[in-house]
Amino acid sequence: MLTAQPKPTSLSGAGKPQRVGGKAATFSGFRPKVTVRRPIIRAVISSEDSKTGVETAEKLVESNGSLVSSRKSGGINVRAVITIRKKMNEKLSERVEDQWESFINGIGRGILIQIISEDIDPVTKSGKTAESFVRGWFPKLSNSPYVVEYGADLTVPRDFGQPGAVLITNFHDKEFFLMEIVVHGFSKGPVFFRAETWIHSRKDNPESRIIFKNEAYLPSQTPAGIKDLRREDLLSLRGNGKGERKLHERVYDYDVYNDLGNPDKSKELARPVGGTEERPYPRRCRTGRPPTKTDPYTETRIEKPHPVYVPRDETFEEIKQKTFSAGKLKALLHNLIPLIASKLASSDIPFENFSDIDNLYNDGVLLNAEEQKDAKKNWLLATVMNQMFTVGDKFLKYDLPAIIKRDRFSWLRDDEFARQTLAGVNPVNIELLKELPIVSKLDPAIYGPPESAITRDLIARELRGISVEEAIEDKKLFILDYHDLLLPFIEKMNALPDRKAYASRTVFYYSETGVLRPIVIELSLPPTPSSPRNKYVYTHGHDATTNWLWKLAKAHVCSNDAGVHQLVNHWLKTHASVEPYIIATHRQLSSMHPVYKLLHPHMRYTMEINALARQSLINGGGIIEACFSPGKYAMEISSAAYKSLWRFDMEALPADLLRRGMAVEDPTVPGGVKLVIEDYPYAADGLLIWSAIKELVESYVEHYYSEPNSISSDVELQAWWNEIKNKGHHDKRNEPWWPNLSNQDDLSNILTTMIWTASAQHAAINFGQYPFGGYPPNRPTLMRKLIPREGADYEKFLQNPEFTFLTSLPTQLQATKVMAVQDTLSTHSPDEEYIHQLHHIHRPSFNDPEVQKLFELLSVKLEEIERIIDQRNKNAQLKNRSGAGVPPYELLLPSSSPGVTGRGIPNSISI
């Protein structure tokens, strides 16, 4: 890398960059006069041959204090304008420090800039260079009070060529956020260097930062003068795989999931490592913390409020941090501050009637007088409570979720239970039932007879005259099957306090009226010697007792669905699986690479939110374990799903729909597939978005890879794909289903799948969490009782079925915990970047009008898709998205305002 080594002078020093492992580029020093108010700095770098290899041009100081070149051949005066963003919320000490740094920049002592030419210096065999310290203040060109600009004036030789890179060295004591550098004065017009990066202090790292100009180059097309910089920049991002990472660093490396447990604190908090042969898992970002004392394979944890390392540019910006923290306080209140939880212990009681649930929205959680008195004695508790109170004694007051805003009893109906499998927050598990009998793939020696208790006769009785064979042939039967995934864990889960679960199967019938309805539910427990077929079947029935048992069975199915949604479809298949793509992209693709530029908006904030999740959501004792049925076995179930269910080629929407039997191939329609159920809102809207993304990606790939063999010969691209398979998803590296990467179709399909997953797929299964899950009876995240069958519990059920139902749901404390998390995770930040805005986001990164036109066409197409979705939601024939009390399906509408809106497709997994 290049390292700035300043020459000491009376006032300032100029850098002498040292290239690690390469040729040195030597620069001259300068001494600006203090008496001059705002001298213009001009530095010239000679590329002429000399005995030392580099000749420094003589510099003269004019009477006005400016520096001019004495080269006989003359030079070109250029000016670099550097844009820096300051913090929005500064303490008084930081404001004083900022003023001092501004003064230092003004007199030319704080920031060294070095311009690197695309042309080779015949002596150094590397890019020609010119340098100067940033000096002087510019009038504000931005309306933002947080944006400041500085200038640096340089003189370059006439044969300098076009600049291709800029090196920045920060001589301040702290980092700063560099937005952009624009170099004026070259014959082809201004040269833009988009940065959007934190520049570390030289005290933390002596290496200079490399910023490339806003132009995409394949590796083979890289201008000769910046080839070495391209390679060195990638090397700096990979690190050496050793030591503990520091917060200012930008090192991307892999590690297993070995930081979720805390065995040093308690044996109960020990957790197995995810990412082994026994428990495979995608890789996370390496932090390099030392192992625990108790278990050498477990990494020590960093607990809140201390931050977990992610590469510096992956952290939340201030607006995002403020939004996340505001919602996070609700979860903190109940989960992460034991003192508060103990003070609210009296709230950890069951819901005893539906009014208790309604009070969460009408009144909020109330503290009695004694609790308030005790709380105010403690400073920490009182401080947090003061932030959380809304009106009087109320806090944790929730907005009414969308699912009950129009119809508070909709969750009770069978058609709504079924509708949510197609248009809810987890519409990705329903499958076509292709044959009977339904047979498990689990080992019958351990889990009993493989045949389901859902028989052909049972189904026939619910079809109302339609034969089973006819229903299967006409693709009218569907299934939600969590049996094989969950049954191996049920015994352990049910041994946990206040946790009771079954492995469920639910069969649905799609009637001629266009409505899906559940017809039979199977709930299974592990076999016992006295009950080798521990399977129970429930149907709707026509009497009061059967109806209430059916409601309890549906609640257990919803609990399973909530767990699989959170641990598999949401966390594993989006958050965890995408992180290796991001790591590999930074390690193997230069920021100049067109694929890097395409993917970059789809990587924003993901590593930070994943680190926060490992810290307080999916960790041992975290919110997911506390509030979802699997408890401490949550990540083991997620690992089992990765082992048996996850495969990259099936993460594409059309492939997933075909795999589940929810579509058939049809090249004449968007996405190349035709839906079996036309009124399948997630899939119907999703195919429009998928097709728009794919059309963009195919045109983009064609633009950059038009030459034969250009993909197979792209060394960075091939290294990127190999690393994703072999390192990022190491435990799946030998699977035969990984796509090849040899032609345009291969690359287009891979990139479309990645962008779809990070944008629309995540949006569809994330931003409906509070709108659907914010009402506990609709999607209970755990059940605390098995369905009563005999004895005293059954008698109590007969006497008061409502009480049995409600006390089977999460407690009030558990419900408010998970509602707080769902509220936070469903919230769009004010700085959210949406998929229809890509043409604005990409504009500073490309100087190619053809590429910009591709993104503008995508924006136009997405605006049209939004209109189509709005029209669909008004179509009375589409009963899964319209009707009395039915909320419209908006999760795949591209745009949104901030907050919990139940709509909007961010470019990346940002929450």
Contacts 24+ apart (CB under 8 A), 793-796: none
Catalytic-residue membership of 911:
yes
Sign of CA dihedral 522, 527, 533, 534: negative
CA distance 434 to 200: 59
3 state SS for 348-362: CCCCCCHHHHHHHHH
Is residue 406 packed enough to be buried (19+ CB in 10 Å), middle (13-18) or exposed (0-12)?
Answer: middle
Is-contact 583 577, C-beta < 8 A? Answer: no
CA distance 725 to 778: 39
Q: What are phi and psi of 228, to 5 degrees?
A: -65, -40
Please tell me which residue in 540, 556, 570, 729 is annotated as part of the active site.
570
Please tell me which residue in 172, 575, 586, 602 is annotated as part of the active site.
575
Please tell me which residue in 762, 828, 836, 842 is annotated as part of the active site.
762
Nearest to 135 by CA among 315, 286, 219, 14: 14
CA distance 154 to 131: 7
Residue in the structure block whose two tokens are 């009376």: 10
Angle at the Cα of 145 (from 141 to 149), degrees rounded to 5?
45
Contacts 24+ apart (CB under 8 A), 622-625: 622/335, 623/331, 623/335, 623/817, 623/818, 623/821, 624/566, 624/567
Is-contact 871 798, C-beta < 8 A? Answer: no
E strand or H helix that includes residue 80: strand 75-85
Name the β-bridge partners of 522: 505, 537
Catalytic-residue membership of 762:
yes
Nearest to 683 by CA among 384, 338, 423, 317: 423
- Beta-sheet strands, E only, within 352-422: 365-366, 389-391, 394-395
Catalytic-residue membership of 593:
no
Contacts 24+ apart (CB under 8 A), 846-850: 846/214, 846/215, 846/216, 846/597, 847/192, 847/214, 847/215, 848/215, 848/216, 848/703, 850/703
Catalytic-residue membership of 729:
no
Q: Which two tokens stand for residue 682?
A: 């997630």
Is-contact 510 422, C-beta < 8 A? Answer: no
Catalytic-residue membership of 600:
no
For residue 651, give the DSSP letter: -
Looking only at the bridges linking them, the beta strands covering 147-157 and 75-85 are: antiparallel
Note the helical H segments in 617-733: 623-627, 634-644, 653-659, 681-704, 715-723
Active site residues: 570, 575, 762, 766, 911
